[in-house]
Structure formats: structure tokens, C-alpha cells
Amino acid sequence: MHVGRQAIYDRDGDVVAYELLFRQAAEATYAASRSAVATSQVIVAAFAEFGVEQLIGSRVCFVNVTREFLTGELPLPFDATQVGVEVLADVAVDDAVLAGVQALAEQGFTVAVDQFGADDRQEKLLPFASYAKIDMLESDRHAVATAILRCGHYPHLELVAERLETPAAVEEAMSLGFQLFQGHALGQPHGLSANTLGATRLQRIRLLVELNSGEVELSRAATIVEHDPELSVRVLRMVNNAASGLRRQVSSVAEAVVLLGARRLQHWVTLMLTADAADADEAALTAAVTHARLCRLVADRRGLDADAAFTAGLLIAVSERLGVPSADLAAQLPLSDQLAGALAGEPGALTDVLQAVAAYERGEADTDGRGVLTADVLDAIRWSNAFAPAVAAS
């Protein structure tokens, strides 16, 4: 998920606020959309992915909002403490918008009016606004002067000179008495990106954890699979796949689950979900499940919970593919304290297994001695090669 952040400066050159901007991609340099969807994505990114505090620190920020948010058709899911709303210039100011802006101001929201002067009806918003932004790229300097003069009737307003593209424009804005300044001449919008765990992806990883808990009954497993249409089709397909060793016709997902059996179902569904969760090709999927299988073998030899070790190894591989710390991934899943602690690197026997495997994969010495881990690796590779290609293709 991507978001742009552009600073707003005071007359001393200090950053006093930020505007958060929609970005379609990491390399984007401008907002490809100013729609309600774009606003929604900015809000979700700021609050659910990055965290507002990490984006802006203790400063205020503004989010561009469309008519739907101003009239209450779409909710603003944040309070008024640190985030303000910027009314876009292309929002037609009618009675519904005016009432919505008044209501937001009365709730304590800081309101900024974008490109004030573009439409005469915008002046109706000024009694409820704290900021008026004036476009300094406007070629008609008389229009700029008129906009400043109209704002002078509202002493509570702070004026922001926006779209300052050159040093000369900054100097002009200073001479005109603006209090705040924004534009490329002062600072380009800074693009920020974060890997996300969407609802479907997170749900499938949760399912992965449950199926590898070692405690799932066949009836429960069938119910889980039946609630995922795509997964149901893939399980049915696998029953008739040569790699499954079955090649049977079935009349229901529940029957397919019984034919596969709990352990084989866990293997297949785990691999499917890993491929989906990590957007993995065959090579990446094979590497992920080889790592998980190796963790299982080492844990089993040490008399530890092999299922937990397999799940931990798999989640570490998924987190690396997503670029998300394994501890952050663990915090979003229904894991046991032991498993969550291992993913967070807390001391313990399961953590020792994960560290031993990671060290061996980095080329460090076989901590178990006498080539034991080397033999485990060969076993894990054989196991992965038997399953991963069919899953990646399914």
C-alpha cells in the first residue's frame, strides 16, 4: 500500500503539518485519482498499515475528502485530535456539503479549504474552516489577490500558499503575507510504501495456522475448506491429481476431505495457502516449505512439538516473502504463546530450533553435529519437491 506525504512549512521554514496524498504505486509522483476510493485507501494506509504516529509524529495532517465523506455517506473512522479534513476544490458546495462541514467543525475537526477562490460558493465554508489554501500557480494574479482579500473577512483563518513551484513563487507568497507554505519548491511529496496483509490473505494464513495445529478434526477441516470456494475447488482437484495418489471421483468437499485424511489435507492445504499468502512461484514455494519441513524434522528429533515447528518455519518464510516482521505477523494470528514467542525471538526450545535452522541456511556450522542437519535438509528437499510443483500449478 502506498501513500504520499507532503510537508507544510511556516515562515521560519519549520514543518508544521503534512498533507497525505493518494498514490497508485510506489514510483508514482502524483495522485492518479481524487475519488472516494482514493480517500479511503489513504485513510486505511495511514491508520491500519503505517500508523499515523509513524507518518507524522506529533504534527497535524490533512486528508483530502470528497463529497461522500462530507455528507456522511461514507464515515470518517478517526477522531479529530490529529487529523484534519481538506475539502477538495472540485466538491460542489451545496446545502448538504455545507451542513456536513459545519457538523465536522462542531465535532472538533480541523477543516482546510483547498484552492480557495476557484468557486465563489467556497466562501460559505470559511466560517467553519481553520485554513484556506490558495493556488499560487494561478496565472491570474488578480484572482489570487481577490482570494486573499476575501479571506481577510475571516480573521480566524490561516492562509496556506500552495503549489509553490519556484523560489520566486515562495518569495512572492512571503511578501503577500501568507503564514504557511506548501509546494515542490520547498519539498516534493515523499512516497511511502508498506506491505499489507489484506483480509483474504490474513484469513488464509489464519486457516493455515489452524490446520497445522495438530488438533483439527476432519469435520472441522471440511467446514473450513467449504467456506473458501476457491480452496474447495482446489481440494477437489487435488483428489483427482496424480500427485495425491488417489484419483477418485467425489460428490462433496466433505468426502474429498475424508479421502485425503487429516494429515494429507494439512499438507496440501498448507502448501496452497503458503503459495497464495506469499504470491509465490514454484521456486519460492519450494524454498518456503523446505524451510518449514526442516524445522519440523529438527524439532521432532529434539522431542519437541513438530507441528508447531513446521508452522513457525512456514510463517517465517511467509513473513520474509511479504516483507513483514514475523513478530508483526504473529500478532495478527491466533497463535499459542509458545509459537508467538518463537516468532518474536523470545528464548525457548522452539526458538532454538528456528535459530539452528536459520544458522545452517546461512552457511554456518551444523550445530547438531555429524551431518545431522545436512541429512535433514536432503529429506526436506525431497519432501518439498514431491508436493510444491503440483500446488504451484493448481
> What does the alpha-carbon distance between residue 12 and residue 72 come to, in Å, rounded to a whole number?
38
pLDDT of residue 241: 52
Instruction: Name the band, by pLDDT with cuts 50, 70 and 90, for residue 23.
Output: very low
Task: Tell me the pLDDT tens digit for each residue of 318-365.
Answer: 788 777 788 877 776 657 788 889 988 999 999 999 998 888 887 776
> What does the alpha-carbon distance between residue 94 and residue 156 come to, in Å, rounded to a whole number?
23
Task: Tell me the pLDDT tens digit for each residue of 96-145.
Answer: 999 999 999 999 999 999 999 878 889 999 999 999 999 998 878 899 99
CB atoms inside a 10 Å sphere around CB 239 = 19
Of 165, 160, 166, the residue nearest 9 (C-alpha): 160
pLDDT of residue 237: 66
Domains of the chain by range and CATH? 2-193 (3.20.20.450), 199-393 (1.10.3210.10)
> What does the alpha-carbon distance between residue 99 and residue 51 come to, in Å, rounded to a whole number?
30
For the chain, state the CA radius of gyration.
28
Residue 60 pLDDT greater than 50, yes or no: yes
Quote the pTM value.
0.51
Residue 291, CA distances (Å) to 288, 349, 364, 380 in order: 5, 17, 16, 8
Residue 190, CA distances (Å) to 78, 115, 196, 260, 295 in order: 23, 21, 19, 51, 41
Higher pLDDT, residue 217 or 113: 113
